[in-house]
A and B are shown apart, each in its own frame.
Chain A
Amino acid sequence: MVKKVLKYILLALITAVFLFPLLYVIAGSLMSPSEIGAVLSPADGKFSQFKLVPDFATLEQYYQVFFRRPEYLLRFWNSVIVTFPTVIAQVAVSSLAAFAFAKLKFPFRDKLFFVYIILLILPLQVTLVPNYIVLENLHLLNTFLSVILPGAFSAFGICLLRQSIIYIPDSSIEAARIDGAGYLKIFFRVILPQIKGGLITLTLLSFIDCWNAVEQPLIYFSDTAKYPLSVVMADIGDSDFGIVFACAAMFMVIPMLIYLYGSKDIDSPFESTDK
């Protein structure tokens, strides 16, 4: 009994730690500008007092973001324009490539996959400069494609989905082939339905990655009007902490909805093959 209580206390503490930023963002977004100013010292951004419940809840910060400062809404749409095509392209490319690496036989397949694994290990900053040079030669710098195209080819996505596909029995693919199915038909009718968990996991992870991207837009866009909200939020002045909180609250709605959509599947990307 004591062990069970301790377990729940520990779980509650861990939950509180993880929920704290979320609650603090919501609480901060509901505070008045003067209250935010009192809670967070504008000079150094440190807590002068700790508060999770506003003295007087107000929607002033949301009013600022939604009506008075539409530039933040435009940046939100920049995030949407960059993220959605990147995720769709990444999932499409990764699933097709993963199918090839897992089930098709071609020369140097495993060696090529090994190269992909190396790409996975490389930090993002290492590939930024080569990508910049390639994009410059393609005259794509300062366009949304400069972020979308490199994001579409993800080594992580291919590795994740390959692990999902590799456990699908070859017999099911051979059976489909005997029935006259081609590679694409096998991919869409046999492979995809069995890797739903992996696809949703990849969708969510790549969405979060693109949604929170700061380095790529900062380097590839010279026009600040193209910056997504993730970049702009880091650059909002100290006197506008309330706007940062309101933007953050707005910014986390879409990722939360996507998580809720796939929450039943994300914990078991290999469910179909594990059991």
Chain B
Amino acid sequence: MKKYQKNIIIIGVVFLVIVGLLTYFSSTIDRMLLPQVKVSEPVLSDIEGNTYFINKYLIPKTALTEDGTVYVVYKDDFSDVGTVDEISVQVNAEDDIYYEIQSDHINISQSVIYAASKEFEVGGRVYIAEEA
């Protein structure tokens, strides 16, 4: 076997090994590269603990941005990865831990981001590291 043929075989084997490793670890690597976020579901309640108010929710104080918006994650099917969206909310009241917010676009099935490992973009993908 000539030298260039040996080199081609080595390149081919290396290529297949790399593709094999990527196949096995692709999801793990993808998650590692994504911003990791912690999320919680909004609590249907006002700051006094009354639960009969429609469209009033409690969210962690760190979830509210300076612009008066919150980031929510829409999860992909059967996955811990989701897409970020930004929703404007109206702040009614607050205590040490929570803001009482009001918005037509929030519901209790959504996941609100209250902490992130690094910056993320609206429409971008994030990995949900923790759900409170």
Interface residues of A (CB under 8 A from B): 66-68, 70, 73-74, 76-77, 80, 250, 253-254, 257-258, 260-261
The 7 closest A-B pairs by CB, nearest first: A70-B26, A73-B23, A67-B30, A257-B12, A261-B8, A66-B22, A67-B26
Report whether B26 and A73 are in contact in the complex, using a CB–CB cutoff of 8 Å. yes
Residues of B within 8 A of A66 (CB): 22, 26
Is A76 within 8 A of B19, CB to CB? yes
Chain B residue at minimal CB-CB distance from A77: B23
* Complex Cα–Cα for A67 and B29 (A): 7
A260 x B15 contact (CB < 8 A):
no
- Say which residue of B4, B12, B22, B23 sits within 8 Å of A254 (CB atoms): B12
**A70 with B9: CB separation less than 8 A:** no
Chain B positions within 8 Å of A, measured between CB atoms, are 4-5, 8-9, 11-12, 15-16, 19-20, 22-23, 26-27, 29-30, 33
Bound complex: CA A85 to CA B33 (Å)? 36
Provide the residues of chain A in CB contact with B27, threshold 8 Å: 67, 70
* Chain A residue nearest in CB terms to B11: A257
On whether the beta carbons of B22 and A260 are closer than 8 Å, the reply is: no
Residue from B5, B11, B19, B30 in contact with A250 in the complex, judged by beta carbons closer than 8 Å:
B19
On whether A260 and B26 interact (CB within 8 A), knowing A67-B33, A73-B19, the answer reads: no
A-B pairs with beta carbons under 8 Å apart, 19 shown: A66-B22, A66-B26, A67-B26, A67-B27, A67-B29, A67-B33, A70-B22, A73-B22, A73-B23, A76-B19, A77-B19, A253-B15, A254-B12, A254-B15, A254-B16, A257-B12, A257-B15, A258-B12, A261-B8
Q: Shortest distance in angstroms between A59's beta carbon and chain B's nearest beta carbon?
A: 12
